[in-house]
């Protein structure tokens, strides 16, 4: 286990969801939620101010969507890992998030244990993790794997 917990910002416009995820993730001593963003603009600002290890980024948010927020964050702070998430991403959104710099995608319908493991693996990656979309109608199943 690392000396310091993995610092996480949760960017999601549904506060109840974000706070529920935070409560669940913080049962894992490896993880610490340090901030919440209600939209992509706030996510970019919190990345600048807090310098988290990982941002859990909802892809569909007001003012600035998660894809563009990911692009801006990764351009300025390449060390910050972004884990994209969505309940129902429109066609192409997951691929656009990957192209913007997200290291993986986790559907909001997945178990918290899977989300926690995605965060740990994303934070531990010395280089971006590959994202392989296992084609399914629901976009629920994605696999992390080293690239290169």
Let me know if residue 102 belongs to a domain: yes
Question: How confident is the model at residue 74, as a pLDDT?
Answer: 95
Identify whether 122 is part of a domain. Answer: yes
Report yes or no on 82 lying in a domain. Answer: yes
- How many helices (H) does the chain have, and how many strands (E)? 5, 7
Q: What is the pTM of this model?
A: 0.83
CATH number reported for the structural domain that contains residue 83 in this entry = 3.40.50.2300
Report the interhelical angle of 40-50 vs 66-76 (nearest 10°): 20
Between the two ends of the chain, the Cα-to-Cα distance in Å is 26
Tell me, yes or no, whether 58 lies in a domain.
yes
pLDDT in single tens digits along all 148 residues of the chain: 457 999 999 999 999 999 999 999 999 999 999 999 999 999 999 999 999 999 999 999 999 999 999 999 999 999 999 999 987 766 677 888 888 999 888 888 777 778 888 888 888 875 444 444 433 334 444 444 444 4
111 belongs to a structural domain: yes
Query: Does some domain include residue 1?
Result: no
Report the C-alpha gap between 3 and 72 in whole angstroms: 29
Is 137 within the bounds of a domain?
A: yes
pLDDT on residue 2 = 55
Q: How many independent structural domains does the chain possess?
A: 1
SS3 of residue 19 by DSSP: helix
Which structural domain range is residue 46 located in? 6-146
Give the pairing of strands 31-37 and 6-11: parallel
Q: What per-residue confidence (pLDDT) applies to 117?
A: 85
């Amino acid at each position: 286990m690392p000396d310091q917990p993995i610092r996480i910002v949760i960017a999601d416009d549904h506060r109840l969801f974000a706070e529920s995820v935070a409560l669940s993730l913080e049962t894992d001593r490896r993880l610490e939620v340090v901030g919440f963003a209600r939209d992509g603009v706030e996510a970019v600002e919190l990345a600048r101010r807090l310098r988290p290890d990982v941002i859990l980024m909802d892809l569909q948010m007001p003012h600035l969507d998660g894809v563009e927020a990911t692009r801006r964050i990764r351009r300025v702070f390449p060390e910050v890992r972004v884990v994209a998430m969505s309940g129902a991403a429109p066609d192409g959104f997951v691929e656009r998030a990957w192209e913007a710099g997200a290291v993986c995608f986790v559907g909001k319908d997945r178990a918290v244990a899977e989300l926690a493991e995605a965060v740990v693996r994303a934070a531990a990656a010395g280089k971006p993790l590959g994202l392989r979309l296992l084609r399914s109608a629901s976009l629920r199943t994605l696999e992390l794997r080293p690239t290169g």
